[in-house]
Structure 1
Amino acid sequence: MPFGEIVCGSPGSGKSTYCHGKHQLFTALQRPISIVNLDPANDDLPYPCALDIGELIRLEDVMEKYQLGPNGGLVYCMEYLEENFDWLEEGLKELGGDAYVLFDLPGQVELSTNHGSIKKVVDMLEKRCGFRLAAVHLCDAHYITDASKYVSMLLLSLRAMLQLELPHINVLSKIDLLSQYGDLDFNLDFYTEVQDLSYLENTLVGSLPPRFAALNMAMISLVEDYSLVGFETLAVEDKTSMLNLSRAIDRATGYVFLPPETTSGPPGTVNVATNTAQSARPNTYALFTSAAGPLKGHGSDVRDVQERWVDEREVYDEYEKEKWKSESGMTPDDLKRKENGHSLAAKVRRRTSTKQADSSSAMDTKVG
């Protein structure tokens, strides 16, 4: 069964950067991944593209032929894709039945919140192509620094959830840049968990005219009534952040990745051999506990995220720089000696434990 992500969000939220970063990460993990570009206005793709809507239709051609603006041209392109879905279906078949595909959508938010073509394309991906999909809605994290912008982001996220009708992951992207916008009014978990939004009232009343403040409070009430919106965080260049978000998406889709029996890491990686069969590949029990067990990995708690990227970013950056320097200074011979050192230490520990066991057994025999 093929799996996929519908990557949507407003312009500049980091959709293409996310797709590129995830392609690099999954390639290093030897996990299958392909990217389909569905943005006819994106001619400069940073990632290797398995399918490009530019082969079917181009925004510039539509604008020139029908005298349309950028927004009208994008709407026409999505309607054209809907009518010519066979092109997309045939291209996806070539990727195989076990493909994992990122669908990079245009940044025009109306396409994923109001217009029906994207919704119909998603339905056909599920019904005709057998995809199991999740929507990944990216929102620029700097919106949480302004109360009224945060409210509009909540409403946009809710509208996308109701329109696409998919397992939905809302993401605060560019969380690593948040410290540039000054102090937050509340802790980061207030914005990610989307609870007790009434605390925003004082901020809104003090910064907006009364009618606009009342309108914002009405929208807050609507978001709280649905109680659907919540956010993950993302720093694309941070491996831990990408892995934690991938866990959340895999849990939403039900995807389980079974790694190869022999996995060679990136150059410079120390591979420690093991003779334990159960540690080589997950067994059935491990797969089910992964699905039902704890979702969070190291560094995924929102308080850790705030400490890493907001409160103590400079300290963490300096620590990582020193760590990179120490690791990059190791030659291949150093890496080999380090690997041999791990093996030797393991042997010493085994011999020591064996001697202790023999000694204990001998003492028990004498006492007997």
Structure 2
Amino acid sequence: MFLPTDHSKARDELPRGCTFTPGDWHVLASFWHPVAFVHDIADKPVRARLLDVDLVIYRTAAGITVARDLCPHRGTRISAGWIADNQIVCPMHGLHFGADGACSKIPSIANPGARIPPRLKLQTYTSIERYGIVWTCLKNTPVWQLPEWEGISNPDFRKVYVPSGTWYAAASRHVENFNDVAHFPWVHTKSFGGSTAEPIPPYDVEQTDYGLSFELPYHEGFNRFDDGIEGDERDVVYTYELTYPFSTLIKIAPQGSDYVVYFADTVCPVSARETRIFQLMTDTTGEPDGEYWIKDSLLINDEDKPMVEEQHPEELPLDLTEEIHVPSDRMSLEYRRGLVRRFGLGAPFAS
């Protein structure tokens, strides 16, 4: 009912009801994470949630601001307010906050020149816009780079944005599934999967400055590509580039032409068991068929989602002895090893 008056001990930085272990939360809070598509941030505040922290995202003339969704006056969710006079307005008492989070107006004070306490300020977070996505970091200094996405970064190529969706699964489970190739013929029977009789060829995983990469030839059971090559099936080469912790670019090169599809997948860990998916694509035509690729992507996601949501344990096992592995799991194994060795995820937290 009440917060204590004794503040001799600093309050824990962890959000109330945190679903992550303290150690994992602090590590993950040091990365960039996607929280919204830029085109969704218009003339109204937008709610988001990252690592169990409620956020508000709003746009002013100075750009997009990401802040904790909490008015410092009486603790209401400021995302329920609105934008006026180029500021976000609290719906409870009308306090106005600018792009930097500082309060500029308290309507209940009759004297417009009265001093406003500097502490009356939204808690803002570092944010950046890239690839049409709003990224933010809950710590002051990010420990890892944003992904560098070939093709997607080409300003001459129009981007197609897949409507974002929520998966009730760990972000790491989604990422591992996105980088898994052995499930294609079994799960993606309506979209692109090939023959279940064809084994997955051996492949090597490369350690990179940003994460992991591998290349794999595959025979797709459908022809999804607008490159003038006829046929109901296609041989392709996939190149996967994973940027830790949760971002992947896949380059799909159908054989027989110079055409390439660039498909990016990055996810927001809303909580330990809830994930917001952000995907976009382009191709070397520079003018991909948006309607077609959105339909294709949503079909693939619909095939994957129930499989991933029903995986157990819900958490990704970082102790490699807790699950059985086969040769096609090479990427999965290197991903799990990297999360532990590079960042200490899964380790006890030393306070």
TM-score (norm 1): 0.26
Larger radius of gyration: 1
Q: State TM-score, norm by structure 2.
A: 0.27
Q: Which has the higher helix share?
A: 1
